[in-house]
Amino acid sequence: MLGSAMGGGFLNNSIETIRQAVEDKFFSNLKLAQAVYQPINDDGTLTFTSGTGGHPAQASGAIIGNQAINTMVIGLAIELAPAIRVNAVAPTWTPTGLWRQLSEQELKVQTKQVADSTPLKRVASPTDVASAYVYLMTNHVITGQVINVDGGVSVS
């Protein structure tokens, strides 16, 4: 996964901070796609990481980056068809190593807060998220899709 999380809206972050979040999330993935697509075997796949959750007023640059990745997936799926399939997995907050700076107690509190805000009242595990990647990589008729692994956040 390339990119990172970003807090804050459009007015309380500098242009540089927002630009860096978009660079980290979108342009890093685009550079990767441009660098690796040619040697991929026919019926191969590129599977990216996007994201769901948050609100533009609280995660401006990250949301722009995620939306750009989703748009890139559609464009690349058309450009690379029929030889290469292109998709993305879009999890919401998931307790992974990305949050290693949190103490065990802080991680429990964060997990509960996020779970309480989802329709399913739970967060995805790393295994839940990984299964979406495996599905996209092994299903040979899916391209140009973004699978949200977010407990219903994206539809609420």
Please, how many CA atoms are within 13 Å of residue 82, restricted to the half-sphere of its CB?
2
Domain-located, residue 47: yes
Domain-located, residue 9: no
Q: Residue 61 phi/psi, 5° resolution?
A: -65, -40
Structural domain including 55 reads: 15-155
Report the number of distinct structural domains present in the chain: 1
Domain-located, residue 46: yes
Q: Quick check: 155 pLDDT over 60?
A: yes
pLDDT digits (tens, 9 = 90+) for 54-108: 778 787 888 999 999 999 999 999 999 999 999 999 999 999 888 889 999 999 9
pTM: 0.90
Domain-located, residue 10: no
Tell which phi-psi region holds residue 77, choosing left (phi > 0), alpha (psi between -120 and 50) or beta: alpha
Domain-located, residue 23: yes
CATH code for the domain of 33: 3.40.50.720
pLDDT digits (tens, 9 = 90+) for 11-54: 988 999 999 999 999 999 999 999 999 999 999 999 999 999 87
Domain-located, residue 6: no
Q: Which two tokens stand for residue 142?
A: 């899916």
Domain-located, residue 74: yes
